[in-house]
Amino acid sequence: MREHQEHWLDSLQDLRFLIWHTATLYPPPQYPEDHYRGNLTTAVKSTLSQRRKRKIVFEGYSYVFDRATDAKEVWRCEERGRCKARLHTVGDNVVRKVRSHCHELSAARAEAAVVATRVMRRAEETMEMTAQGALLTLRALKEMVRRRRNKLGTPLAAPTSLETLIIPEEFTKYAPHHGEIVSFLLADSGPSPQRILIFGSQWKLAILR
């Protein structure tokens, strides 16, 4: 029995030595930064989740920090459980995309999260009693999201009230003749429950006069 135990211990030591020797001869690859970059080097935008976990925004999608290695950081899609898309980053640059998303992007929500994070960080850094002079207004934030949605070709969300209604500039003009652009939004009283919008043309307005 004792001889069997000693033989087993010797085998265990041999196994440990074999594992150590293999790890020494074939260490895990430590890729240099340039190895990852390729043609995918693209800056990302940092943000925070509602639980203040690290997030990034890339191409309209949001990713949550997953893990880090010596060579890179790995991020998973925020749609955990149903989307397997991943990103690898080195510093602030995306160096690899793993799998495609299985859902529609939400560029407006992602952009809003980026701005909201800036607001929170600004408030924390300055400790100001009021951030009215330094932070974006709600309307400015919505306008930023709208411009981003237009840039990405994302359909505009249906307004829920006159206060949240944002009319893109291209929807306030028309071309009666080739090369001629005419504005037909003559007046806008601004966001309020009693908002007044006047559409028409100057020459029709002249007729009424």
Structure tokens at 135: 């932070």
CATH of 33-127+136-155, one of 2.20.25.240, 3.30.530.20, 2.60.40.10, 2.30.29.30: 2.20.25.240
CATH 2.20.25.240 residue spans of the chain: 33-127+136-155
- The amino acid sitting at 183 is S
Question: What is the spatial distance between Cα 1 and Cα 149, in angstroms, rounded to a whole number?
Answer: 75
Say what the pTM is. Answer: 0.38
- The amino acid sitting at 78 is E
Residues near 41 by beta carbon (within 8 Å), at least 6 away in sequence:
93, 94, 95
Nearest alpha carbon to residue 47 among 139, 150, 137, 117: 117
Asked whether the beta carbons of 119 and 112 are under 8 A apart, the reply is no
Question: What is the spatial distance between Cα 169 and Cα 176, in angstroms, rounded to a whole number?
Answer: 17
Taking only the tens of pLDDT, the chain with its 209 residues reads: 445 444 444 444 554 444 444 444 444 444 343 333 333 444 555 655 555 678 888 777 888 888 888 888 998 888 877 888 898 988 878 888 888 888 776 655 666 666 666 666 665 565 555 545 545 555 666 666 666 666 666 566 677 777 777 777 777 887 777 777 788 888 888 878 888 888 877 777 777 77
Question: What is the spatial distance between Cα 164 and Cα 138, in angstroms, rounded to a whole number?
Answer: 10
pLDDT tens profile 143-178: 666 666 666 665 666 777 777 777 777 778 877 777
Nearest alpha carbon to residue 172 among 160, 159, 163, 181: 181
